[in-house]
Every structure is written in structure tokens, then in C-alpha cells.
Amino acid sequence: MAAPVDLELKKAFTELQAKVIDTQQKVKLADIQIEQLTKTKKHAHLTDTEVMMLVDETRMYEGVGRMFILQSKGVIHNQLLEKQRIAEEKIKELE
């Protein structure tokens, strides 16, 4: 009678170990994504800080594919703020 219980217990333990490994992999992936998003957010913040120091008449270009489009300082500033906001939302979602 002890053998069937042991087999069921062993099967349950094996399934639990598989779930633990799966969960650990998901947590590791989430940590990597959070790290990348933090870098993106910091890069956008530093870029925005430098852009805001420039005079308003400075010509600024946005990279689109293999070309550059002339944009105003306000548009570039808004894009960088949006990039930071999106990264922050995704970080909160992953946490």
C-alpha cells in the first residue's frame, strides 16, 4: 500500500519542481526586462536634460529609419517624456 502513495508523492513533487523552475525562469526574464527598461528610461532622461539646456532655435532631428526629420525642441522633449512614461509603466507592470 505504501508504494502507490510514494509514486503519487514522487509525481506531485516532480510537478512542483517543474513549476518552481518555470517560475524562476519567468522571474529572471522579468528582471532582465526591468533592467533594460530602466536603462531606456535613464537614457531618455539624460537626453532630455541635455536637450532642455539648448536654446529654442537649435535645429534638432529625429531619426526615422535611415533618415532624419527636422523637429522642434518641444516635439523632441515630448517624445522623450513619453518614452520615460512608457518605460515606467512597463516596469511597474513587470514588478
Q: Which fold has domain 26-94?
A: Helix Hairpins (1.10.287)
pLDDT at 6 over 70: yes
Q: What is the 3-state secondary structure (H, E, C) of the chain?
A: CHHHHHHHHHHHHHHHHHHHHHHHHHHHHHHHHHHHHHHHHHHHHHHHHHHHHCCCCCCEEEEECCEEEEECHHHHHHHHHHHHHHHHHHHHHHC
Q: What is the pTM of this model?
A: 0.72
pLDDT of residue 46: 95
What pLDDT digit, counting tens, does each position of 33-56 carry? Answer: 999 999 999 999 999 999 999 888
pLDDT at 25 over 80: yes
Copy the grid coordinates of residue 2.
505504501
What pLDDT digit, counting tens, does each position of 58-80 carry? Answer: 899 988 899 999 999 999 999 99
